Structure 1
Amino acid sequence: MSDTSQFLEFINEGYKTKGDYITMGAAMLGEETITGAHVKIPLKTLNRHGLIAGATGTGKTKTLQVIAENLSEKGIPVLLMDLKGDLSGLAQPSPGHPKIDERHEKIGIPFTPKPFPVEILSLSEQEGVRLRATVSEFGPVLLSRILDLNDTQSGVVAVIFKFCDDNKLPLLDLKDFKKVLQFATDEGKKEFQDLYGRISTASTGAILRKVIEIEQQGGELFFGEKSFDVDDLTRIDENGRGYINIIRLTDIQDKPKLFSTFMLSLLAEIYSTFPEQGDSDQPELILFIDEAHLIFKEASDALLDQIESIVKLIRSKGVGLYFVTQNPTDVPDAVLAQLGLKVQHALRAFTAKDRKAIKMTAQNYPDSEYYNTAEVLTSLGIGEALITALDEKGRPTPLAATMLRAPMSRMDVLTEGELKALIENSKLIKKYNEEVDRDSAYEILNEKIAKAEADRAKAEKEEAERKEKERAARTSSRSRSTSRRSTRMNPVVKVLTSATFIRGVMGVLKKVMK
């Protein structure tokens, strides 16, 4: 038996599956593509997460596109993070090309151009379905971790949430949260101390600065209503294909805080609302996180712990997470260890540090008698990758250098007209793009403070009027007393001024004068 036939048998045995699957391409042996040696990924293992890695320009985005298309065809919805703005072409069919036909002839898979159902979402002011979440939905624990607070500050946040729950104060956006912080150490200081203990201004000041940092990265656009319902990510079109939801993130590449905030809130919401699925025939939803290093680069230890926990737990909800980045070392080891599918495109060895990194990367993949992994990593061409997945029993499949199939949709962005038409035809635009600003903690506390000030002003006015009346009463009393004293005559004076006395005196005077 020749090496080629042995290799064909080896690959087909290693990637054999009884259930439904998606085909990534055909395995390669040296420079030769072995037609029919198809690299298959069972649908039932896709909730075990994955990694797509490789140097710039090696085809990571197209691999992501291929997987998303095949998932959609199988009725599995997808969520894509589009930081470079080059995934919207999924909504239009591929124009085709002779090189694509040549590639698929080598692979042994027919090529059929087709569009896919796409929904455009947005975190910022870009066009698309607006994604929002309320502060209340985050809860005190997740919000504290996102703000990177210490234990004391986290305790203050917990008290703030407790106060709002007790007093029916909705925490919808960041201005609500800031208002309660200010109220706790100003107008409502005594109320807080009586019920929850003293809150220091140093702690609330530190928390306020962290909130402002989130605001400066666009958090005021994300926090608020109407909150996005994650069930809308799992829609299926009339042809039974899963929707490909694309979040446009081209304008927040320099805002990793907002990006990580959104990702954690989304994953936490999915985990809390999706039912337990366990081991099923196919996943409920697959998320692709492009430029994944943005999540991990500035994450605190507490935030990394939260991500690690979610990655471990969310697969039981039928949700798979796929991190797309340049190097596997961009992903923390604790997270990397949870990833079942690995698609590794070429790496470049320009420096001694690069060569060392390649050797370390090669150790993340199963040993193979057919490949020197470290050498293959530097010799792969565009649209080629090393692949290992999990079979239906959860075992790693053989490492296979693979010529990947081409995307069936357009490998380019939509025109402005196409994008506008796609957004205008969205069924979710009307549901989420109307701004809602109902009365919440900010308005209620302002009203409470205004009422307290009005009551205080009224009380002060009444007190002033009372004192004025008292002064007037005292003045009037003194006047009456003086009047009475002035009109009440002394007995001697009374005798001297009486008519009888005057007549008597006048009579005497008259006699004398005579």
Structure 2
Amino acid sequence: MANDTEDNIFIGRSVPARNDKPADQYLALKFGNRHGLVAGATGTGKTVSLQVLAEGFSRAGTAVFAADVKGDLSGIAAPGEPKDFLVERARAVGLDGGYQPDAFPVAFWDVFGEQGHPIRATISELGPLLLSRLMDLNDTQEGVLNIAFKVADDDGLLLLDLKDLRALLSHIAERAGELTTEYGNVTKQTIGAIQRQLLVLENQGGARFFGEPALAIKDLIRQDRDGRGVINLLAADRLMNSPRLYATLLLWLLSELFEELPEVGDPDRPKLVFFFDEAHLLFDDAPKALLDKIEQVVRLIRSKGVGVYFVTQNPLDVPETVLAQLGNRIQHALRAFTPREQKAVRTAAETFRPNPKLDTAQVITEMGKGEALVSALEGNGVPSVVQRTLIRPPAARIGPVSPEERAAIVARSALRGKYDAPIDAESAYEVLKQRASARTDQRAPEPRGPWGQPAPSESTRSGGLGGILDGIFGGGSSGGGAPAPRGRSSGRASVTEVVVKQVARSVASQVGSQLGRAILRGVLGSMRR
């Protein structure tokens, strides 16, 4: 099933307006890295449009990454079925040869490692800005987290997983007074608050995400043996229960692509196209520093050969500074019942290049399922006039694959075994634990007696007096000192002996204290007299 050309992805055919002829609508591959937007209310066909674009990029040899929020996209790995509505849509849009089922190369990923290859990142790779966003830290806490990363850099400590960060924060809390003068104010209360947020993150499944082996970006940019781009699908149905983790993961991937890929200018086709479903999660309550970073990445990453396509219900979910950079647009129907929805309709209509034969704002509210307003870059990068368009049917299955089909695809994946088992390398946790143990050993002094001599052994102490006092008072044989003189009666001790022994025991119980030494000198002095 084609109508794709060497240079274009076929999106669909326009609905004639005012006696116009229908026209095929394309997305030019050379502008595929100029980013895009797929928007529309629930149930209007956004997921199908996303699938159509992903299939087109894959045919052209471009790798794709998409978050599969509901599991529906997984069907792209299996051939479609020639159902009546698909056959009819193929005829309506003029597909060559009618409806022809097809399947595409897919790699499944899953943060939790249950529905695909585990996907991981290290604490260091994520950095303090994204980590602060993930844990919803305030400005003060974010500042202390920045100090923690700086201390780790200065001390040569690797931050790989959550236990590394937890150990580093405990280490900083112990040195708070010392570090404040060099790095800035650090309080144990702030450290405690961050530790509590780490616990929340761990309970949400963050421990699965952080660690090694970390994802190698090159494993997202692959082709199969037929030259088709591999479609990477992130299982996000469970991940959506932790929306901050979901948004942070995808933004981290974008940042890694931006950092690692070389500059290529404007290639004939993108290296990778990145679909960001539920895009509003990326921007909701995001601090200005993070929004600035997102805008920077979106603006500059196209020169790395990467296209970013935001998928959301409402165009207002995307900040204007980002929305202005999205040149390829597919707008499905919107509802206009509330003031905010009416504003969204006006905003969506105003972002298209006007079509004098089309009332864009009105059409947005009237379109049926599988219809959309389409405008893509053409010529010298100018947006085409907006057209009401019937979206072509996807060639692959609409709907999810079965668990058995998914397991079979994962089992024969070229990446099988590379990421499956976690690796616990020596990092900050182990290093700080060793340092703490070494300090404890150095601080432990050898036991000494009251005058600095080695402390008596347990067997010597068991006699009650021991050591020098046994020599003076004639300790018994049970005490380990000199044996009692022969011929001494084994009967009752004299009053004098009882008194002396009582005093001696009192002295022995206070050895090492000033009071004990004073009493001892008094006893010895009285004996001399």
TM-score, with normalisation over the residues of structure 2? 0.81
Aligned-partner SS, 1:241:
coil
| Alignment-derived partner of residue 402 in structure 1 | 389
Identity %: 42
Q: What is aligned with 1:22?
A: 9
Structure 1 stretches of at least 4 aligned residues deviating more than 6 Å after TM superposition: 470-474, 476-480
Kindly indicate whether residue 15 of structure 2 is the aligned counterpart of residue 42 of structure 1.
no
Greater Cα offset, 461-470 or 137-146: 461-470
* 2:154 equivalent to 1:166: yes
Q: 1:336 aligns with which of 305, 323, 337?
A: 323
Deviations 1:59-115 (A, max 9, x none): 100000000001000000000111111111111111112332222222122232110
User: 1:409 aligns to what SS in structure 2?
Assistant: coil
CA deviations 1:28-69 (Å, max 9, x no partner) are 12499955x111111111111111011111110000000000
CA distance in 1, matches of 2:18, 2:160: 58
Mark the CA change 1:184 to 1:463 in structure 2 (over 3 Å): closer, same or farther: farther
Cα pair distance change 1:160/1:354, threshold 3 Å: closer
Partner residue of 1:324 out of 287, 311, 325: 311
Match in the other structure for 2:410? 423
Structure 2 residue aligned with 1:78, among 34, 44, 64?
A: 64
Q: Which runs of 5 or more structure 2 residues have no equivalent in the other structure?
A: 457-465, 475-529
Kindly provide the amino acid, as one letter, of the partner of residue 415 in structure 1: S
The farther-off stretch of 154-163 and 291-300 is 154-163
8 Å CA contact 2:100–2:395 kept in 1: the answer is: yes
* Residue 63 (str. 1) matches residue 52 (str. 2): no
CA contact (8 A) 1:19 1:281 kept: no
Give the alignment partner of residue 293 of structure 2, picking from 278, 292, 306: 306
Q: Measure how far apart 1:140 and its partner are.
A: 3.4
Alignment of 1:107-122 (within 5 A): 107-110=93-96, 111-122=99-110
Question: What letter matches 1:243 in structure 2?
Answer: V
| Comparing 91-100 and 189-198, the one that deviates more | 189-198
- Specify which structure has the bigger relative contact order, considering alpha-carbon pairs within 8 angstroms and separated by 6 or more residues: 1
Displacement of 1:289 in angstroms is 1.1
Offset of 1:215 from its aligned partner?
2.3
Contact 1:33 1:106 in 2 (8 A): no
SS in 1 for 2:152: helix
Q: Secondary structure at the match of 2:329?
A: strand
Answering whether residue 211 of structure 2 is matched by residue 224 of structure 1, we say yes
- The RMSD of aligned alpha carbons is 2.7
* 1:273 and 2:260 aligned: yes
Residue 322 of structure 1 deviates from its aligned partner by 0.7
Deviation at 1:158, TM superposition (A): 3.1
- Count residues in correspondence: 460
Confirm or deny: 8 A CA contact 2:107 2:410 kept in the other structure. Answer: yes
Describe the shift of the 1:479–1:32 C-alpha distance in structure 2 as closer, same or farther (beyond 3 A). farther
8 A Cα contact 2:72 2:399, kept in partner: yes
Q: Describe how 1:256-295 pairs up with structure 2 within 5 A.
A: 256-295=243-282
| Secondary structure of residue in 2 paired with 1:422 | helix
2: CA distance between counterparts of 1:65 and 1:83? 13
C-alpha offsets along residues 327-358 of structure 1, whole Å, 9 cap, x if unaligned?
11111222111111110011123345533432
Residue aligning to 1:467: 452
1:438 is displaced (CA, Å) by 1.7
Greater Rg, structure 1 or structure 2? 1
Which of the two has greater helix per residue?
1
CA contact (8 A) 2:70 2:236 kept: yes
Pairing 1:449-468 to 2, within 5 Å after superposition: 449-457=436-444, 459=445, 461-463=446-448, 467-468=452-453
- Secondary structure of the 1:246 match is strand
1:215 equivalent to 2:202? Answer: yes
